[in-house]
Amino acid sequence: MNNDFKKAIKSSVKSLYNSLPVIVGVVLLISIVNVLIPKSFYLKIFNKSNLLDLFIGSSLGSIFAGNPITSYMLGGELLKEGIGLLAVTSFIVAWVTVGLVQLPAEIIMLGKKFAILRNVISFIFSILVATVTVSIINNL
């Protein structure tokens, strides 16, 4: 094994090792949020009014984190319960692009300004993306 390769391994191990407390912290935080908040909560909070639900969808999606599959299933359930496509879309988009639970980790790893700005812009974008997507779908 040459020296450059050893250096590459050492530097990668160091980088991941330094990130380990952040990753463990985020996983523990995501788990406690998932256990604390029952899935039925999502259904109760929507208002069935398009504009307000759009905002609620983005806000809920931003607060909770987890596998995108969970957001699809929840989104499917919300649609079945009569929640509008606009709100469900903003919920799904915010779920995967905004992450308040993992924000502390993002701040530590990628910088405060970047992390906060990225999450704020992604929150606004979740509303815009939902509006544009549903408008296109309605006009197809």
Partner 1 sequence: MGIYFMIFVLAVYFLISLFNIDLIFSSLQFSFLIFKNILPAFILIFILMIIINYYIHPKQVDNLIGKSAGIKRWAFAVIGGIISTGPIYLWYPLLKDLNKRGVSHGFIATFLYNRAIKIPILPLFIFYFGIEYAVVLMIVMILASLVQGFIFEAIEKHIY
Q: Which residues bind partner 1 (CB under 8 A)?
A: 4-5, 7-9, 11-13, 15-16, 18-32, 34-36, 67-69, 72-73, 75-76, 79, 85, 89, 93, 96-97, 99, 102, 104-106, 108-111, 113-114, 117-118, 121-122, 125, 128-129, 132-133, 136-137, 140
Radius of gyration of the chain (CA): 19
Q: How far is the CB of 75 from partner 1 (least distance, A)?
A: 7
Q: How far is the CB of 31 from partner 1 (least distance, A)?
A: 4
Which CB atom, from 82 or from 136, has the smaller least distance to partner 1?
136
Q: How far is the CB of 77 from partner 1 (least distance, A)?
A: 9
Which CB atom, from 17 or from 44, has the smaller least distance to partner 1?
17
| Contacts of residue 81, Cβ cutoff 8 Å, sequence gap at least 6 | 43, 46
CA distance 99 to 60: 10
CA distance 71 to 94: 10
Contact 53, 94 (CB under 8 A): no
DSSP string covering 28-62, please?
HHHHHHHHHS-THHHHHH--S-HHHHHHHHHHHHH
Q: Which helix (H) or strand (E) holds 139?
A: helix 112-139
Q: How far is the CB of 36 from partner 1 (least distance, A)?
A: 7
Which CB atom, from 38 or from 51, has the smaller least distance to partner 1?
38
Q: How far is the CB of 56 from partner 1 (least distance, A)?
A: 19
